[in-house]
């Protein structure tokens, strides 16, 4: 172990919770108090005077004490923030729905400012009548509501080379999960009279990158949505306001934002985003293309490096997220000893197709070290693989689609670190 000594542990001062624990295990608990708690026995301002009136925040933001629950960027990953990515603070969230305001962003030419009144959607190519829709037109089609996760194909990509970024936000935060309201793409294609012989649709956005992608017709007719609401309200600018594509279970790059054109074709375009990027290079140098589905995956979100245990031994809630682009999550197992033994976790709700599932394992922590892992299974019988299993098949250069089992080393003082185990 000596070769892995950490030279500058003090740099991790951002783990303010962990730092507090490091100073000595905190045993504060109201039940054990010897002296009366001033927060109870002394009168407090908030219990005497007024709080804010109803119009203080016409559109509310989280209270200032939650100010560290924010998207974060890893600057050295990209050259420029307008063609870059940031990460959802999954370590600090619970439940499954991601609030729009902290849901990760990925732009190729920046988040554009596009008014509903300036919005146009064109359907052309192999159709009876090429059509143009306004935003208002879209609102007149029958619409559906679905909860789906959107995961960037590069989520956890840094882990191919080994344990690198120290936090669930950075290793697994290129994901969000929202309830979308939108029109099935199938209905729009029917409206234009698509040629049933057409094998593909090419979709592109209104931004400068256009981010064009080819989607097989079978998927387009199945569950793809042209969405304009998320979690009940308009999409945020950074997620494609006013209209984006939702491609359930498939890599986030295909969820074209600010979607402006859908072309029915016989051939895939083989655009930049589906050849030079979002293709997965194997050890022998050949690359997989059209790796659209996101395989089953899970991660413990707490405890984790940014969410250390601060309460000492005793009751501990281990929790995390699981998802699969191939169907519903049916089971999640958790290991506390690096994969030697596993316990089946409790799912907060039965898994839903192509949506995040929250799991809990409620344990009595004895205060000893843990090597925490989680392993998801989906309705197809697929079992989330280990890093070693993935590398054996794919090598180290795939960049995308890393759905490995993640390990957090939780120390006796409650601090956690991203590690790799044998």
Partner 1 sequence: MSKYLKSLTIALTASCLAAPVMAEKLGLGRAALPAEIAAWDWDINAKGDGLPVGSGDALDGEEIFAEKCAACHGDFAEGIDNWPKLAGGADTLDHEDPLKTVGSYWPHLTTAYDYIKRSMPYGNAGTLSDDEVYAIVAYILYSNDLIEDDYVLSDENFMDFEMPNADGFIVDDRAEAEYAIWSGEPCMTDCKDSVAITMRALVLDVTPELDTNAGATEASASAAPEAAPEPEAPAIDMELAAAGEKVFKKCKSCHQVGEKAKNRSGPVLNGVVGAAAGSVEGFKYSKALRDAAQDGLIWSEAELTAFLAKPKAYLKGTKMSFAGLRKEADQAAVIEYLKTFE
Name residues contacting partner 1, limited to 269-298 (CB under 8 A). Answer: 269-272, 275-276, 279, 281, 283-293, 295
154 token code pair: 């590069």
Site for partner 1 contains 240 (CB under 8 A)? no
Site for partner 1 contains 385 (CB under 8 A)? yes
H or E element that contains 410 = strand 407-410
To the nearest whole angstrom, how small is the minimum distance from the Cβ of residue 158 to partner 1? 8
Site for partner 1 contains 54 (CB under 8 A)? no
What does the alpha-carbon distance between residue 269 and residue 176 come to, in Å, rounded to a whole number? 28
Residues, the chain, total? Answer: 422
> Which residue in the set 9, 101, 232, 314 belongs to the binding site for partner 1 (CB under 8 A)?
9
Which residue, 29 or 266, is less far from partner 1 as judged by CB? 266
To the nearest whole angstrom, how small is the minimum distance from the Cβ of residue 46 to partner 1? 23
Binding characters for partner 1, 242-271, by CB under 8 A (x = yes): ------------------xx-x-x-xxxxx
Binding characters for partner 1, 10-39, by CB under 8 A (x = yes): -xxxx-x-----------------------
Q: Are the C-beta atoms of residues 338 and 371 closer than 8 Å to each other?
A: yes
Site for partner 1 contains 204 (CB under 8 A)? yes
* Site residues (CB under 8 A) for partner 1, limited to 314-343: 333, 337-342
* Site residues (CB under 8 A) for partner 1, limited to 105-144: 108-110, 122-125, 129-134, 137, 140-144
To the nearest whole angstrom, how small is the minimum distance from the Cβ of residue 180 to partner 1? 14
* Site residues (CB under 8 A) for partner 1, limited to 348-377: 371, 375, 377
Which residue, 25 or 187, is less far from partner 1 as judged by CB? 187
Residue 209 burial (CB count, 10 A)? 18
Strands 120-125 and 259-265 turn out to be parallel
* Sole residue written with tokens 């956690």: 416
Q: Are the C-beta atoms of residues 226 and 133 closer than 8 Å to each other?
A: no
| Binding segment toward partner 1, per CB under 8 A, in 81-89, 174-182, 241-249, 314-322 | 81-89
| Binding segment toward partner 1, per CB under 8 A, in 25-33, 183-191, 230-238, 240-248 | 183-191
In order, the DSSP letters of 157-179 are GGGGGSS-S-SHHHHH-SEEEEE
Site for partner 1 contains 406 (CB under 8 A)? no
Distances in whole angstroms, Cα of residue 103 to Cα of each of 62, 87, 90, 217: 14, 7, 9, 29
Strands 120-125 and 131-134 turn out to be antiparallel
Count Cβ neighbours within 10 Å for each residue of 296-309 and write b for 16 or more, e otherwise: bbbbbbbbbbbbbb
């Amino acid at each position: 172990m000596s070769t892995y000594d950490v030279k500058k542990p003090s740099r991790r001062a951002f783990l303010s919770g962990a730092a507090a624990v490091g100073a000595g295990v905190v045993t504060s608990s109201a039940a054990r108090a010897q002296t009366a708690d001033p927060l109870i026995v002394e009168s407090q301002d908030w219990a005497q005077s007024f709080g804010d009136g109803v119009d203080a925040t016409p559109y509310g933001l989280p209270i200032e004490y939650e100010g560290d629950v924010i998207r974060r960027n890893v600057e050295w990953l990209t050259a420029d923030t307008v063609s870059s990515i940031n990460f959802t603070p999954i370590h600090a969230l619970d439940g499954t729905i991601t609030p729009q305001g902290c849901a990760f962003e990925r732009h190729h030419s920046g988040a554009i400012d596009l008014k509903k009144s300036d919005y146009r959607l064109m359907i052309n190519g192999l159709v009876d009548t090429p059509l143009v829709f306004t935003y208002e037109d879209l609102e007149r089609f029958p619409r559906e509501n679905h909860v789906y996760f959107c995961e960037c194909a590069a989520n956890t990509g840094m882990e191919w080379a080994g344990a690198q970024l120290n936090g669930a936000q950075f290793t697994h935060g290129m994901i969000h999960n929202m309830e979308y309201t939108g029109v099935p793409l199938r209905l729009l294609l029917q409206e234009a009279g698509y040629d049933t012989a057409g094998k593909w649709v090419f979709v592109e956005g209104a931004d400068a990158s256009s981010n064009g992608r080819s989607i097989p017709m079978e998927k387009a007719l199945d569950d793809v949505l042209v969405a304009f609401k998320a979690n009940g309200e308009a999409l945020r600018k950074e997620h494609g306001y006013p209209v984006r594509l939702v491609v359930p279970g498939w890599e986030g790059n295909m969820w074209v934002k600010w979607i402006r054109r859908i072309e029915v074709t016989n051939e895939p375009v083989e655009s930049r985003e589906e050849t030079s990027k979002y293709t997965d290079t194997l050890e022998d140098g050949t690359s997989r293309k059209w790796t659209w589905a996101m395989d089953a995956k899970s991660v413990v979100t707490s405890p984790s490096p940014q969410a250390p245990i601060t309460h000492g031994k005793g009751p501990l809630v281990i929790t995390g997220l699981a998802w699969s682009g191939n169907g519903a999550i049916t089971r999640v197992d958790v290991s506390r000893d690096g994969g030697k033994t596993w316990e089946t976790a409790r799912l907060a709700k039965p898994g839903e197709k192509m949506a995040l599932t929250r799991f809990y394992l409620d344990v009595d922590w004895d205060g000893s070290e843990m090597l925490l892992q989680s392993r998801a299974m989906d309705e197809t019988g697929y079992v989330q693989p280990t890093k070693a299993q993935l590398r054996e098949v794919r090598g180290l250069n795939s960049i995308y689609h890393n759905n490995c089992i993640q390990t957090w080393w939780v120390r006796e003082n409650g601090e956690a670190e991203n590690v790799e185990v044998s």
